[in-house]
């Protein structure tokens, strides 16, 4: 049996284990360890497990993960997400579909603190769904906009998706964060335009909310200033060269904790729970990364990436054609696999091909992360849809999936724009790093 055959069998077994809902990290551990054992011996497999675990656990770059997660958890505990939503609502709430637009803006702002799509969908769902119900919004629009708006968490920096991509491909976290800013704003704008079109075609889907006075607007915007200042401090600090991503994460986490204690919106018990949740999430991410560094050498030994590259080259497609096929694979896998699982499973196969084609790895990272976002609302898995379902248990799952379809289309249009104009993704990182 050739090494390529063993590699193909290993990938098939891994996919089967993931379909059976075996945790991603354990599935990759088993396949990677046994695959290396078969191809290179038991001693090599044990040595790699020990060395990769220590290397990753001692990586200073990964400190951004727990710090940004902690920042998001504390911000949620202090009510910053509610303040951001109230500010957005005071500005756009009185127009048709305004509550839905405020939800998207709130999701974008909270995404810039939490870096997590699931956290954004869960938090903003709790904040906004009740308000939209109160003003008789159609359930498909209200739940669809929360599920779709939550996906901004993986694109707008700081993004855990970008951190994982950077670690797996050895790219700059700072460059990836900056590359996600303009595409994130473009996607947010596309969502707002989608809401406007829906409410223009179906006015009953998003009735107008009550008007707010200038004083109410001023008070709401003033209340949201702390969260806006934290966002400006972290992302602006990275762009201005004042902070590295790790330092920005520490400054951001410290700022929201100080704000919470200063305003008495954060208690020590809430801080402990936020820290506990951050530790659990970080441990999960670390396990996945260590497992990914077991599966990657197995795939390299089995020459699977080389075989895939040769197969794509044999098709004699253009660079954009090959890139299109890779992204279609991500779209299809997104219907069945969780985002991190897709990254760690596919990047060892596709990334060498992308580099050989001369595609900018930062640009490719933005395209991949946006494609992962689309998977978050694609049936049958669509993890954000199930998150919204947990917040709105009385809404049928089919209605939520129908509600996200217009936003999925908006994401596809955004993806095509970013493919056509790479400068949108590369402008800020090229400006900062020259």
**DSSP code per residue over 256-325:** HHHHHHHTT---HHHHHHHHHHHHHHHHHHHHHHHHHHHHHHHHHHHTHHHHHHHHHHHTT--HHHHHHH
pLDDT bin (cut points 50, 70, 90) of residue 407 is very high
The pLDDT score that the predictor gives to residue 128 is 81
Distance CA 244, CA 233 (A): 12
Within its chain, how far is the Cα of 371 from the centroid?
Answer: 10
The pLDDT score that the predictor gives to residue 337 is 67
Predicted confidence (pLDDT) at residue 413 exceeds the cutoff of 90: yes
Which 8-state DSSP code applies to residue 208?
P
The pLDDT score that the predictor gives to residue 433 is 61
Predicted confidence (pLDDT) at residue 198 exceeds the cutoff of 80: yes
Phi, psi for residue 349 in degrees, rounded to 5: -90, -45
The pLDDT score that the predictor gives to residue 412 is 94
Q: Kindly provide the b/e burial profile for residues 259-297, where b requires at least 16 CB atoms within 10 angstroms of the residue's own CB.
A: bbeeeeebeeebbeebbebbeebbeebbbbbbbbbbbbb
pLDDT bin (cut points 50, 70, 90) of residue 96 is confident
The pLDDT score that the predictor gives to residue 338 is 65
Phi, psi for residue 160 in degrees, rounded to 5: -65, -30
The pLDDT score that the predictor gives to residue 88 is 81
pLDDT bin (cut points 50, 70, 90) of residue 363 is very high
Predicted confidence (pLDDT) at residue 434 exceeds the cutoff of 60: no
The length of the chain, given as a count of residues: 434
Tell me the per-residue pLDDT of 15-56, one tens digit each, with 9 for 90 and over.
Answer: 788 777 777 778 878 888 888 898 888 888 888 777 777 777
Closest residue by Cα to residue 148 from 201, 92, 193: 193
CA dihedral of 169, 171, 177, 181, whole degrees rounded to 10: -80
Burial class (CB in 10 A: 0-12, 13-18, 19+), 199: buried
- For residues 160 and 65, the answer to whether their CB atoms sit within 8 Å is yes
Predicted confidence (pLDDT) at residue 270 exceeds the cutoff of 60: yes
Q: How many CA atoms lie within 13 A of 185 on its CB side?
A: 8
Predicted confidence (pLDDT) at residue 197 exceeds the cutoff of 80: yes
Mean confidence (pLDDT) of the chain: 83
């Amino acid at each position: 049996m050739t090494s390529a055959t063993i590699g193909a069998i290993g990938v098939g077994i891994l996919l089967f284990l993931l379909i059976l809902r075996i945790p991603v990290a354990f599935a990759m551990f088993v396949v990677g360890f046994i695959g290396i054992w078969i191809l290179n011996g038991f001693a090599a497999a044990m040595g790699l497990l020990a060395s990769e675990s220590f290397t990753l656990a001692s990586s200073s770059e990964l400190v951004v993960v727990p710090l940004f997660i902690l920042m998001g958890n504390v911000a949620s505990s202090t009510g910053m997400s509610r303040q951001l939503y109230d500010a957005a609502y005071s500005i756009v709430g009185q127009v048709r579909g305004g509550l839905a637009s405020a939800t998207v803006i709130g999701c974008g702002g909270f995404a810039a603190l939490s870096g997590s799509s699931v956290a954004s969908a869960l938090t903003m769902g709790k904040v906004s769904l009740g308000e939209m119900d109160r003003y008789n919004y159609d359930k498909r629009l209200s739940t669809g906009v929360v599920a779709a708006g939550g996906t901004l968490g993986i694109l707008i920096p700081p993004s855990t998706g970008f951190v994982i991509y950077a670690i797996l491909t050895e790219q700059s976290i700072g460059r990836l964060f900056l590359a996600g800013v303009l595409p994130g704003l473009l996607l947010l704008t596309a969502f707002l335009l989608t809401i406007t079109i829906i409410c223009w075609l179906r006015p009953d889907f998003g009735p107008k909310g009550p008007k707010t006075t200038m004083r109410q607007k001023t008070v709401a915007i003033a209340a949201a200033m702390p969260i806006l200042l934290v966002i400006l401090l972290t992302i602006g600090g990275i762009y201005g060269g004042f902070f590295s991503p790790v330092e920005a994460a520490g400054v951001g986490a410290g700022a929201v904790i100080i704000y919470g204690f200063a305003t008495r919106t954060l208690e020590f018990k809430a801080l402990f729970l936020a820290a506990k949740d951050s530790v659990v999430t970080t441990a999960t991410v670390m396990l996945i990364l260590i497992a990914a560094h077991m599966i990657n050498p197995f795939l390299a030994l089995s020459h699977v990436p080389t075989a895939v590259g040769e197969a794509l080259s044999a098709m004699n497609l253009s660079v954009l054609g090959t890139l299109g096929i890779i992204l279609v694979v991500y779209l299809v896998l997104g219907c069945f696999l969780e985002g991190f699982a897709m990254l760690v499973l596919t990047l060892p196969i596709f990334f060498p091909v992308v580099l050989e084609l001369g595609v900018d790895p930062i640009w490719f990272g933005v395209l991949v992360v946006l494609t992962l976002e689309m998977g978050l609302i694609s049936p049958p898995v669509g993890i954000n849809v199930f998150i919204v379902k947990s917040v709105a248990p009385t809404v049928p799952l089919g209605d939520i999936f129908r509600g996200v379809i217009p936003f999925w289309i908006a994401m596809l249009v955004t993806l095509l724009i970013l493919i056509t104009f790479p400068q949108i993704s590369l402008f800020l990182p090229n400006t900062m790093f020259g």
